[in-house]
């Protein structure tokens, strides 16, 4: 995300093209269905899980849009997304543990299958719909766990990239100052 030669506002990407956003949207869709299908209606965890999934997705969106004027805000919101998804991951682990259900080992054939499925470009919920609608809660929870790990990995990579960009390019105030100095150098007072 480099600023244009003649200005200080960087181009910003479309959040919908970010793999982390695509995964977060799938995680939200799975979590919404999981919570309403497998948790009792009086369970407060329903709202908590859905809000964590929503927060993961929406903070990626908001961070991406804030990137135009604030690298700091972008970094903070991407980290909030990461933290929200981590909270959701813990909820899924709690669900499995409290019910004596198996949490897949990351090298299990099932987890490897989900990783392969999750490595395809332009991810949508449709790739997972059949599994979510026909499998028992243990399988659906484990699919969500695998996807959250993928999304968190992508967010970690994104945060490292944002850090490098900030160190290299600075923030908006530094870019504004450089643009103004460049203009003054190119258009000296006569």
pLDDT of residue 85: 98
Q: CA-CA distance, 67 to 70, in Å (whole number)?
A: 5
Which residues make Cβ contacts (< 8 Å) with residue 32, sequence separation at least 6?
50, 53
**pTM here?**
0.85
- Mean pLDDT for the chain overall: 89
CA distances from 78 to 128, 183, 190 (A): 25, 33, 47
pLDDT tens track, the chain, 190 positions? 554 555 655 666 688 889 999 999 999 999 999 999 999 999 999 999 999 999 999 999 999 888 777 788 899 999 999 999 999 999 999 999 999 999 999 999 999 999 999 888 888 999 999 999 999 999 999 999 999 999 999 999 999 998 888 787 766 666 666 666 677 778 887 5
Per-residue exposure over 40-71, b if at least 16 CB sit within 10 Å of its own CB, e if not: eeeeeebeebbebbbbbbbbbbbbbebbebeb
Q: CA-CA distance, 147 to 182, in Å (whole number)?
A: 46
**15-57 tens-digit pLDDT:** 888 999 999 999 999 999 999 999 999 999 999 999 999 999 9
Alpha carbon 120 to its chain centroid, in Å, reads: 16
Where are the domains positioned within the chain? 15-181
Instruction: Please work out, in degrees rounded to the nearest 5, the angle formed at the alpha carbon of residue 132 by the alpha carbons of 64 and 49.
Output: 55
3-state helix, strand, coil in the chain (%, to 5): 75, 0, 25
């Amino acid at each position: 995300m480099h600023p244009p030669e003649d200005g200080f506002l960087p181009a910003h990407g479309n959040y919908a093209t970010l793999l982390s956003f695509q995964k977060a949207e799938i995680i939200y869709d799975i979590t919404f269905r999981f919570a309403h299908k497998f948790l009792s209606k009086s369970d407060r965890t329903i709202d908590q899980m859905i809000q964590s999934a929503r927060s993961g997705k929406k903070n990626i969106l908001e961070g991406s849009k804030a990137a135009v004027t604030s690298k700091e805000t972008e970094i903070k919101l991407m980290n909030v997304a990461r933290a929200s998804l981590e909270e959701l991951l813990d909820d899924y682990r709690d669900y499995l543990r409290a019910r004596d259900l198996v949490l897949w080992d990351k090298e299990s054939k099932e987890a490897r299958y989900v990783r392969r499925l999750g490595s395809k470009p332009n991810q949508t919920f449709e790739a997972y719909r059949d599994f979510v609608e026909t499998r028992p809660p243990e399988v659906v929870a484990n699919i969500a766990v695998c996807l959250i790990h993928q999304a968190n990995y992508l967010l970690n990579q994104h945060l490292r990239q944002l850090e490098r960009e900030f160190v290299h390019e600075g923030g908006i105030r530094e870019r504004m100052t450089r643009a103004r100095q460049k203009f003054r150098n190119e258009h000296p007072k006569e």
